[in-house]
């Protein structure tokens, strides 16, 4: 599926979200600035950054094969707020055998090995896994999918899955697989894109070519659906963390062009959710 990267519509949407969130109690000058900017964009008096690109939806295998080349070089507000929460949970756990499910370029694989775990990284993308081997050379890596992990039942003490469940149309299968491979008494740490972000912004685009963007679809998973999936898998929730937007806008992106509106639109909203669950002993 292909479409067009509509920068003006995105700019107007962010301006509108800032207005929606602050119309009732916002500073009058700020509100008037938003109205003035929107009027200029609508009338083409204010030119937006050139989109100039088509957008294609790719499956996870093809998408991450392309994304792997630049994934680690791109600043990410999602990762910046997610990692401290995940790592604080990991710091409180005893060492053992750990799984990094959908390990990508291995940022959590490295975090697990640095904490003394014997770590197995699993990902369906050989290109992403090649990067992971560079970041965590002491870990073991296996090609596999989150929905069918290449591990035996009850074979690890800890499983981590970071920002990957959003690519699954439904949660039950992925959660059940994590529960299957973790021993009784073990822990599972899952981070995901917050449903607020996906409902409001949708997809995360990356550069595919000189004049083309692409994305791997993010599916919206409400907390109630996570709780249902955990319950079906027999897991017990220990904690749920929702770190907030930290003010970072993607450098060079369209939101930097309307920074005041963008920060007002996202300020105070959770952008990631982190679940800390355990397999009952």
**What distance in Å separates the CA atoms of residue 182 and residue 23, rounded to the nearest whole number?**
48
- The string over 69-107, giving b where at least 16 C-beta atoms fall within 10 Å of a residue's C-beta and e elsewhere, is eebbeeeebbbebbbebbeebbeebeeebbbbbbbbbbb
pLDDT digits (tens, 9 = 90+) for 40-85: 999 987 787 766 678 889 888 888 888 888 788 777 889 999 999 9
Q: What is the pLDDT of residue 2?
A: 61
The 10s digit of each residue's pLDDT in 242-280 is: 999 999 887 777 888 899 999 999 999 999 999 999 999
Q: Which of 219, 228, 123, 100 is nearest to 172 (CA)?
A: 228
- Terminus-to-terminus CA distance in the chain, angstroms? 46
HEC profile for 201-233? HCCCCEEEECCEEEEECCCCCCHHHHHHHHHHC
CA-to-CA separations, 147 to 61, 115, 158, 245, 275, in angstroms, rounded: 14, 27, 17, 30, 18
pTM beyond 0.85: yes
Cβ 136 vs Cβ 115: under 8 Å: no
Q: Which tens digit of pLDDT belongs to each residue from 205-227?
A: 887 876 788 889 999 999 999 99
Domains and CATH numbers, the chain: 2-278 (3.40.50.150)
Residue 89 pLDDT class (50, 70, 90 cuts)? very high
For the ranges 146-155, 180-189, 202-211, the lowest mean pLDDT is seen at 202-211
């Amino acid at each position: 599926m292909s479409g067009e990267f509509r920068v003006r519509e995105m700019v107007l949407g962010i301006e509108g979200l800032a207005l929606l969130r602050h119309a009732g109690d916002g500073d009058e000058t700020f509100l008037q600035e938003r109205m003035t900017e929107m009027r200029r964009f609508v009338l083409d008096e204010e030119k937006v950054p050139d989109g100039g690109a088509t957008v294609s939806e790719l499956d996870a295998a093809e998408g991450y094969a392309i994304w792997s080349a630049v994934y680690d070089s791109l600043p990410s507000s999602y990762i910046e707020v997610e990692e401290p929460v995940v790592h604080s949970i990991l710091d409180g756990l005893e060492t053992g055998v750990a799984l990094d499910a959908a390990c990508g370029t291995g940022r959590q694989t490295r975090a697990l090995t640095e904490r003394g775990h014997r770590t197995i990284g699993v990902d369906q993308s050989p290109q992403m896994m090649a990067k992971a081997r560079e970041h965590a050379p002491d870990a073991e890596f296996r090609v596999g999918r989150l929905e069918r992990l290449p591990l035996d039942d009850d074979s690890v003490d800890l499983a981590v899955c970071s920002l990957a469940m959003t690519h699954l149309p439904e949660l039950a299968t992925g959660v059940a697989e994590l529960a299957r491979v973790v021993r009784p008494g073990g822990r599972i740490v899952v981070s995901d894109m917050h449903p607020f972000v996906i409902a409001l912004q949708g997809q995360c685009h990356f550069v595919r070519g000189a004049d083309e963007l692409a994305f791997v679809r993010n599916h919206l998973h409400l907390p109630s659906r996570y709780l249902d999936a955990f319950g079906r898998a027999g897991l017990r929730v220990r904690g749920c963390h929702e770190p907030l937007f930290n003010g970072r806008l993607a450098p060079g992106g369209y939101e930097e062009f309307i920074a005041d509106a963008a920060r007002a639109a996202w300020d105070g909203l959770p952008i990631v959710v982190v679940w800390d669950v355990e397999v009952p002993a």
